[in-house]
Structure 1
């Protein structure tokens, strides 16, 4: 955890101080701080950041607006802090490139729990697989190379935010198996107590935008009505 670099982006000094204090107590010592979206972008140009805690309301614009700009520099795990609680706001956050959200007011230990759960998921994805020793999953049009942490579509490497990658990796390891939203939240996100099921729907869409010829009519990651989703693989 001490090697995990975290960037806090919030204009409220009290929140930044509280989060920084909590993170360091939990063993995260590489903590960067920004009070505006522009300051955050400057830091991302110079530093390799693993996790970003991003406030939605910033002095120089919305965190939703800055998120796509952040994605130009980083595939870091992005956790939104928001006072907004409508489904539209939550979906907007995910659609712009966010991975998770917490509503204000919040318990800082909840932030720590989510970060630790994310780190566990990343570490587990890097554990050598006995069943798939080469750790490359070939679905024809696309391949997922777990050794390199790369998604390759039509022979080209496609950028893939970490949480999207982890969800796709889980499907690749369990082809032709149907998973409900609640199961995916528990198995991939590591918990489902605070996470809306819309999270899964949006990340499914983000996967389809990368691997499908027509994301609206998927051939690989399909919906099984009333049951969930499955990644189709034809075995020769």
Structure 2
């Protein structure tokens, strides 16, 4: 994947240049944008394989750019931000980013994370021979190949991470997955300090979208002290 094209969107040109320098050393092509509007324009006009976004950008902030990306594209997104609180990290991941780094950062770690995200993106894009064509549980229907979810015929819009969590659990009904397992399988990297809250927040929003707070269907079951399972 070293021939991938990576968008770097940061209003601090020195940081954008530093990231581009290290990525280009590894053989990646880079495109730079210095505000959110330019970032969206680049995504729509270039063949971008991954986006590295700052949060605090003029014109359109990083959160808005991610919303735009998730409405139209599946490319991985890495936030690199001066916002260091767990709340900001979780908010970035919940809104649709795949990973989050804080400034100042180690450029080689950033390159490693980019490589991991691209490997995972490539893996997910390949058809899995053991993946069921359709998963049906009561009124819930999941079509993994199309990344489509519906309940009693009504389409449910999920973020990529919410879909991956649901598909992971639903593909292995009754199997209990710990938080660390879910984080490793869905985020494609080792569990780290905010992983627990990240998984819990995603599952809470996923349950809400599935309507588990309004109806008797409970597809995701909590096994207290252990993890989560699909009650299909």
Q: Report deviation, 1:73.
A: 3.5
Q: Measure, in 1, the Cα distance between the counterparts of 2:211 and 2:88.
A: 26
Q: 2:190 — aligned with what?
A: 192
Q: Measure, in 1, the Cα distance between the counterparts of 2:147 and 2:121.
A: 11
> Which moved further from structure 2: 218-227 or 63-72?
63-72
Q: 2:15 — aligned with what?
A: 15
Q: 2:169 — aligned with what?
A: 171
Q: Measure, in 2, the Cα distance between the counterparts of 1:214 and 1:168.
A: 16
Q: 1:129 — aligned with what?
A: 129
Following superposition of structure 1 onto structure 2, how do residues 61-72 of structure 1 map, counting pairs within 5 Å? 62-72=61-71
Q: Report deviation, 1:185.
A: 1.8
Does the aligned pair in 1 maintain the 2:176–2:223 contact within 8 Å? Answer: yes
Cα distance change on mapping 1:23 and 1:61 into 2, 3 Å: same
Q: Measure, in 1, the Cα distance between the counterparts of 2:140 and 2:5.
A: 31
Q: Report deviation, 1:137.
A: 1.9
Q: Measure, in 2, the Cα distance between the counterparts of 1:69 and 1:35.
A: 17
Does the aligned pair in 2 maintain the 1:9–1:34 contact within 8 Å? Answer: yes
Correspondence 1:44 to 2:43? yes
Cα distance change on mapping 1:23 and 1:156 into 2, 3 Å: farther
Q: 1:202 — aligned with what?
A: 201
Q: Measure, in 1, the Cα distance between the counterparts of 2:214 and 2:168.
A: 19
- Correspondence for 1:146 among 141, 144, 147: 144
Q: Report deviation, 1:40.
A: 1.2
Q: Measure, in 2, the Cα distance between the counterparts of 1:33 and 1:214.
A: 43
Q: 1:183 — aligned with what?
A: 181
Which consecutive aligned stretches of 4+ in structure 1 deviate over 6 angstroms post-superposition?
A: 215-218
Q: Measure, in 1, the Cα distance between the counterparts of 2:216 and 2:7.
A: 37
Q: TM-score, normalised by structure 2?
A: 0.82
Unaligned runs of 5+ in 1: none
> Which moved further from structure 2: 9-18 or 94-103?
94-103
Does the aligned pair in 2 maintain the 1:52–1:76 contact within 8 Å? Answer: yes
Query: Tell me, what secondary structure is at the counterpart of 1:147?
Result: helix
Q: Measure, in 1, the Cα distance between the counterparts of 2:205 and 2:198.
A: 11
Cα distance change on mapping 1:95 and 1:127 into 2, 3 Å: closer
Aligned residues: 230
Unaligned runs of 5+ in 2: none
